[in-house]
Amino acid sequence: MTLPTHRQKSLYKNCILFAWDDAVGAMGAVVEQLPIQISKLADGGYATVGGIAAPFGTPMVASSDGGSNHRLAKFSGFSTDSNYKSVFIDITKDRNLGKVHTILVSTKALGANAKAEITLEGNQGDKTSNVLTVTGTGKTRHIFKTLTLPAVEDVRVIVSYANGHATNDCPIRKIALLGSFIER
């Protein structure tokens, strides 16, 4: 990856957008309370991203296949090839390991076919839970008690939108993990 040129970067929602190979990357924090992050934000269209701008509030991306095909597209819909991974959080107390038994997920009222999948990883990724699907037209609160993650030292949350919907998003407002300690 080479550094973006002056036309391959722009500002959008408190983030710097930039050309990232054949995609658009973002660096910043949309919410001030969160740390700065770097992530791929959107597909760039063709293989070569020539320019990025957000002059009217919505980013537009110019790309080319290196031949006679060129494209100018604005962001629309929602990406279904995205995911989020939190940092690992220590859930031990003295000699005890943490056992997550319930996950509470708060969303906005979901539209038809809106979906996100949640997985937990523990012990720095050595243990993985079953996949829990957040879905349900009109639902705002999702409670999961069928978790297969054993007692672990640390845990992180992974949210995947791979099976989501391009029109009806599944914005997660809050995820709470409930559990207890198990002596080991």
Tokens 């910043």, residue located:
28
pLDDT score at 55: 87
Phi, psi of 66 (to 5 degrees): 90, -10
pLDDT score at 1: 63
pLDDT score at 147: 94
Please indicate, yes or no, if residue 51 is contained in any of the structural domains: yes
74, 93, 124 — which closes off a domain?
Answer: 74
pLDDT score at 154: 97
Q: What is the number of structural domains in the chain?
A: 2
CB contact at 8 A, 66 and 48? yes
The 3-state DSSP class for residue 93 equals strand
Give me 102's structure tokens: 């319930």
My answer on whether 52 and 138 are in the same domain is no
Which of the residues in the chain have pLDDT under 50? none
My answer on whether 68 and 23 are in the same domain is yes
My answer on whether 39 and 90 are in the same domain is no
What is the rounded distance in angstroms from the CA atom of residue 170 to the CA atom of residue 178?
A: 22
CA distances from 124 to 78, 136, 147, 161 (A): 30, 31, 18, 22
Strand partners, 45: none
pLDDT score at 43: 83
Tens-digit pLDDT profile for residues 3-12: 888 889 999 8
My answer on whether 63 and 11 are in the same domain is yes
My answer on whether 27 and 63 are in the same domain is yes
74, 103, 123 — which closes off a domain?
Answer: 74
Please indicate, yes or no, if residue 129 is contained in any of the structural domains: yes
Please indicate, yes or no, if residue 1 is contained in any of the structural domains: no
Please indicate, yes or no, if residue 87 is contained in any of the structural domains: yes
Please indicate, yes or no, if residue 95 is contained in any of the structural domains: yes
| Domain of residue 40, residue span | 6-74
My answer on whether 69 and 18 are in the same domain is yes
What is the rounded distance in angstroms from the CA atom of residue 180 to the CA atom of residue 159?
A: 23
